[in-house]
Amino acid sequence: MNEHGLYLFYGDKLFFGLLWGVLGAVLILADNGVANVVFAMVLAFIVQMRIDHLNHAIAAVIVILAFAIAASVHTPTFVVFFTSFVIFGGLRAYIGDVRGRYDLLYRFSEPGWAHYYIVPFAWSLYSGAWILFGFTATYRTAYNAAKYGLYLKGYYSKL
């Protein structure tokens, strides 16, 4: 809400931060593999300094606490996804900052092909844990649909 300049109702930013955190906690409770992916994603966002608003911080704290209470680190899964999110997410941010958001390479990297589709598909093929590919593909497809839908409606201008 904040970073995209949207306003739905008073307190919407805090509400969606809480909601996002609670939904992340539900995912953590549902499956330990998904918990490791969600935890890796949140830690990668912290490393990349993308927790830049109060609603992000609320969601991140809820996810970290839920992971600490209810999940356990599965080192191979965590390392693969954390590394993927840091490298490819950082590369996408770097390309956007240095080369510009209208650069062809940025346009290709923006949907998150590498770290939300290709790496999870390869890891699921290797490990047999297809829920991880299903989770990341569903998450990023929904994110892209919302983002590009808002863009097409004129609400979001920073693609």
Yes or no: say if 115 and 85 are a contact pair by the CB < 8 Å rule: yes
Residue 57 binned pLDDT confidence (cut-offs 50, 70, 90): very high
Nearest-angstrom CA–CA distance, 22 and 88: 26
- The neighbour count for residue 78, using CB atoms within 10 Å, is 18
> What pTM was estimated for this model as a whole?
0.86
What is the mean pLDDT of the segment spanning 69-91?
95
What is the mean pLDDT of the segment spanning 51-72?
95
Residue type for position 117? Y
What is the mean pLDDT of the segment spanning 120-140?
95
Q: What pLDDT shows up at residue 93?
A: 79
- Does residue 90 surpass a pLDDT of 80? yes
Q: What pLDDT shows up at residue 158?
A: 53
Nearest-angstrom CA–CA distance, 24 and 147: 19
- Return the minimum-mean-pLDDT range out of 92-101, 119-128, 137-146: 92-101
What is the mean pLDDT of the segment spanning 123-128?
96
Both tokens of 76, joined, read 């191979």
